Homo-oligomer: A and B are copies of this chain.
Amino acid sequence: MSPVVGSAFFLFYLLALCNASGADIALDAKATLLHRIDSLNLLIYTCLLTLTVLTIWVFKHRRVSWLHETGLAVIYGLIVGAIIRYASSTNQVTYIDAHPAPDTKYNLSVPPDILRFRFPDKIQISSGDTVPNKTYAYSFRGEIVNLEQNEIDLKATFDPEIFFNIILPPIIFHAGYCLKRKYFFRNLGAILTFAMVGTALSALVIGALMYGFVQLMPASLASSFTFLDTLYFGALISPTDPLTVLAIFSQLKVDVNLYAMIFGESVLNDAVALVLSGAIQNYEKRYSVDGGFEITAFLAAIGDFIGIFSLSLLVGALLGCFTALMTKFTHVRDWPLLESALFVLMSYAAFLIAEVFELTGVVAVLFCGICQAHYTYNNLSSDSRNRTKQLFELLNFLAENFIFTYIGVSMFTFPKHHFDPWFIIAGFLTSTLGRAVNIYPLSFLLNLGRKPPIPMNFQHMLFFSGLRGAMSFALAIRNTVSEARQAMLTTTSLIVIATVVLQGGAATHALAYLRIPTGQGQNDENEALPYRDVRSLYQATDSGRPETPRSGEAGEKARLARLWGALDSRLLKPLLTHARPPLTETLPGFLSPLARILTTTRQYTQADNSLRRTDSDSDLCLDEPQPVPTSIDPQQLWPGLVDTRISVEGITGSNI
């Protein structure tokens, strides 16, 4: 070690020559402090989530069903939020009023991105130190509406845009990826009606009623709400989030069609509400430019809604199909890690592309998830199927519990709450009424045309499942500029907390009271779980085997579903996956050169129905009978690597 000792002396000498610049120490300490506060905030949520996980385990272990994990997360959040608010010391933010330099040249009507601030300039620093004048950069954050509310709090709060860009995308993607498409398409009419028409209707009714309520309130408050404000409230409070109820459904094996309706609606109405609220805001902008109400602005808002929704859908679907093509025509399957990375990157790209083109990333991600499950999933190696399922399941679990914890904590720590008892009461009443207006009249209309009508107790259950959740909260916290918006946030938070804890807790009783049959068939139930773990995934793949021809059920389907089914089974599936029949059989003759290019050897050579079985939504293909396969050599279908590995896994796994 002699070189070390020698160098140490040399080091001493050099350090003595050294002339480091000083004076930034206080600033550095400040940056460190801010970083520590950030870390502490994250640590609080990490501990809360850990606590939630452990408690859920105890609950599951003791078979407690009256409190779901999200309810638990909210309650823990509330407790810790109260502690943070009332027990911890405040970390006061320092601020200075600043003005532009006298001879500033600036031509835009919007404030600049960056201020270059001379400090201390002419301020007398009373601490006595001589602080050298330096220039600091300050970046734009937002408008300060209420100058008296000085305290911009550093306590356990995050930028609301985090929800739309980080927390919601995995949740929504997971919902699309795990959507049980078989039952979803079987109930497509009802789901679309409830989600599209119903949500718009509910938003409208809630908006109008709230506007009426607000007019009855004290004048000071009434004047701060415009009709667009209350309509916005209607849009944000309309999407449902019946996680708690669905968890109980899958526990008790409730009818899969009811499950599919409630889950499908909740997935879609999140997307609808998000686009709807965006359209309302755009309307607000156009309207205020024109200076008066115009039919064109209203039509533009409707056009906005339809355009943004369908373009976002398109972006998501295209990216999903593109991934399917890539996984079909390359052998990237041989390297599962690359394949999974490709899958994740493409799905995230769907979100980003939509955002870049000012569409709605969350909607794109939803439909990307559906396409990934419907097409790409069939091309993936079994390792990647596993990995992607498990990855998004875990992300979804963490994101969901985080958002509910945050709802609880922010109830106490978010500085921009505005408690207005009248508005809160009105909010509870109208949101219940809005749900009723969504379900009962539309069920009545649907039952006019529906073969097996939706029975009354199912309708009540649909009404009961109108819990509010993540999307409502994220929309409410996005904009808290005015007092009206702050009152909306408070009301939304309370509605979410109340419905998740109380309605969620009462779900088992509601099922019993409404005499909804539970304990349905093993296979069906497993396929419909959004929270299924790997076991159910395999059982689902497994359960494909005893599936006999379903041609008898075809009569039930609507014409639209039939048309889509034919297109899907004859064009899209053979194009995007290795499914039979190949395009060479389904496309018209003059396209056969193209068809030959787009058909893989596997599609030609494999036994006719060998792959169909593993396809989880096989009943979309309506027209051909599906003979039960007799015996297939696995080696023949998936040559080499993949199979060997899985067998090894299975064997060693069971020896552990």
Contacts and interface: CB of A to CB of B under 8 A. Distances in A.
A135 B111 CA distance: 10
A382 B653 contact: yes
A563 interface: no
Interface in A241-284: 284
Q: Which of A111, A118, A228 has the most CB atoms of chain B within a 10 A radius of its CB?
A: A111
B112 A96 contact: yes
A70 interface: no
A456 interface: no
A552 interface: no
A129 interface: yes
A629 B361 CA distance: 55
B228 A18 contact: yes
Contact of A11 (B15, B53, B204, B289): B204
A614 interface: yes
B143 A27 contact: yes
Q: How many copies does the complex hold?
A: 2
Contacts of A642: 656
Complex A-B, nearest 6 residue pairs according to Cβ-Cβ distance, in ascending order: A650-B650, A646-B653, A22-B288, A138-B138, A39-B355, A95-B114
Given A32-B358, A352-B46, A643-B654, A112 B94 contact: yes
Interface stretch (A119-127, A367-375, A459-467, A487-495): A119-127
Nearest to A51: B345
Contact of A115 (B96, B127, B437, B644): B96
Contacts of A106: 94, 96, 120, 123, 125
A136 interface: yes
Contacts of A650: 646-647, 649-651, 653-654
Nearest to A614: B656
A571 interface: no
A547 interface: no
B125 A109 contact: yes
A98 B95 contact: no
B18 A353 contact: no
Q: How large is the interface on A (under 10, 10 to 19, 20 to 34, 35 or more residues)?
A: 35 or more
Contact of A655 (B39, B289, B634): B634
Interface stretch (A184-192, A501-509, A537-545, A580-588): A537-545
A119 B111 contact: yes
Interface in A60-79: 60-61
Contacts of A391: 387, 390-391, 394
A322 to B, nearest CB: 10
A553 interface: no
Given A96-B100, A356-B43, A7 B534 contact: no
Given A118-B97, A391-B390, A649-B650, A541 B656 contact: yes
A332 B131 CA distance: 57
A14 B539 CA distance: 54
A99 B97 contact: no
A533 B53 contact: no
A607 to B, nearest CB: 12
B54 A326 contact: yes
A550 to B, nearest CB: 21
